[in-house]
Structure 1
Amino acid sequence: MQQLTNPQHPQSPAISSKFQWAPPPDFAGFRGKSGDFVYLRELPGSENINGFTDFTFAINATVKEKFHLAVSFFSVDKQIANNIVVGRAASADADYFVGSIDSLQIFNYVLSPDEVLYLSTQPPEAAAAAAAAATATGPTPGGERRTVDGRVCLSPCSPQEPFLLQQQQQQQQQQQQQQQHQQQVAMRSIQLACSDSGLLPAFRGFSGESFLVLCPSDCHKAKKIILKGNHVYTADSSVCLAALHSGALTNIEGGFALLVLHNGLNSYASATGKHGVISSAELQPQIRSFSVLPAPPFKQLSCYSDGSFVMQMKTGDLMMISCPLGCLAASEAVVYGTGK
């Protein structure tokens, strides 16, 4: 079987495709009529092209005169599928191809200009024969090889260019910092069980005081848990169930929320809240109450960070901050005001 050898690299393997098609002898041709098209997915071997992120279509065709066409495509977030139609762009008759397609080859990499030029010099019969002999190896030497992030390898491919490696390291550092921030927030929060109520000793304080809490997942499934009130709840109510009911927790997987203490009310209404949670009524006056708000955003500060970020906040907005150790020794840091 004849193979196509790259003239720029005569010692290299043949230029090999992953899929090939040529019209059978009894094919009526592309006459612009309904039905004059070919579904690649109905042909053997078409499954080999599924999932390509970079590829080249090489076509020998005739429309009044013979020509060779090569189309290359590369994308890191898109893939080719085998549901390709040859000879028709859409269902309308005007979008049917009129002419002759003598051969179609699909390569799983971007062909170099030399390879495209060489393929254009080959007769369709030779191209079809060479395509049938395609191996399962990757792109041939001399082809326009690319790294996973889309960079063309002009020399033997290296794992990463310096600026890309630096970018990757910065992303990893940011992820590590976010994880550390979450761990710090968790350490400063009151970790609750689904059954824990506002009567916990940790919630002793005056009206208006707030406490950061961390709730587990699936508290909406917990049994025999008290929840009385709507927006403002009795002190013996489950804090985490109240967080779900009020919408302070946006999903059932749990997370951080802010408990705020209030004075007691004369009565508490029942209501159907978020996530399908239903609360009960309480008609007896209570001494204490609480509400649950979404946890405020978190900001990591250094000893020299100023308060300029509050200029982007509205009156009443909250922000959780985390400060490092040793700020008393930061002699160049300045403070204005008395804290009152």
Structure 2
Amino acid sequence: MACVIEVNQLTKRYGGATAVKDLTFTVDPGQVTGFLGPNGAGKSTTLRMILGLHEPTGGSVTVEGRPFAARPRGLRHVGSLLDAQEVHGGRSAVAHLSALARSNRIPRRRVDEVLERVGLAEVARRRIGGFSLGMKQRLGIASALLGDAPVLLFDEPLNGLDPEGVRWVRELFRGLAAEGRTVFVSSHLMSEMEHTADQLIVIGRGELIAAESLEEFSARGTRQSVEVRTPAVGVLRDLLTAEGAAVHTEGELLTVIGLGVARIGEIAQAHGVPLHHLSARSASLEDAFMELTADSVQYLAGESR
């Protein structure tokens, strides 16, 4: 049977709150599938239900035709990285991976192989507590690769990585997919998904928005966006939002949908906001994402998921 993840009417409620509602989608092998959604959309909850860590309120999810929790040696079937910080800081990298290998009956040689592959061989005997976030991300990826599993799940694997690390992860994921594996990646970095993903699963407020190719999803964006660079990010963001625009911020850069270059310039001038850059740009995955998920945003910029 192909290594397919099948989600069928998956629902998860916590008291009176619904985190995931009637989700149905399939993740196929041989490609990188990006898992996108605004903060609080239910991405992490969905991944945890796929891995059997959370029990669904309704619906079902299977990997290779069976619930993942029914597999006794899980790392041989699904490798995953959910939170790189959830690891014992007093252990060394080699001790951490060796324990996982023993519990899943994975040959000890795989520990050295994956440490070499993720670039941690030279620090293998250092305590994890002294690792940077980027190093912990690499260790988490090593844990996911340990069982040589046909299905791989990653939740925000790029956090803390430098540009070289981001490029390495991009090439790693595409290489794993080329081997015929199922690669499912949750990320908020639209620029990286644009370079990495073949297919997209997009959710908002726990419900499915789209399940299609990256090209098809990007083409659904209809509104032009504008790039603005200013040292007064918060002030300008609030002014543009009050005018009805959708605004995404990253450092001093704002991406604005719903207002044109001229109107943004007028607003900035009227309120004495300095602009270092102002230009329209062609449609992108980020543009389509902002437009199509605008009604699903639950939290303001700056809040964690």
TM-score (norm 2): 0.22
Q: Which has the higher helix share?
A: 2
Q: Which has the higher strand share?
A: 2
Query: Which structure has more RCO (C-alpha within 8 Å, separation ≥ 6)?
Result: 2
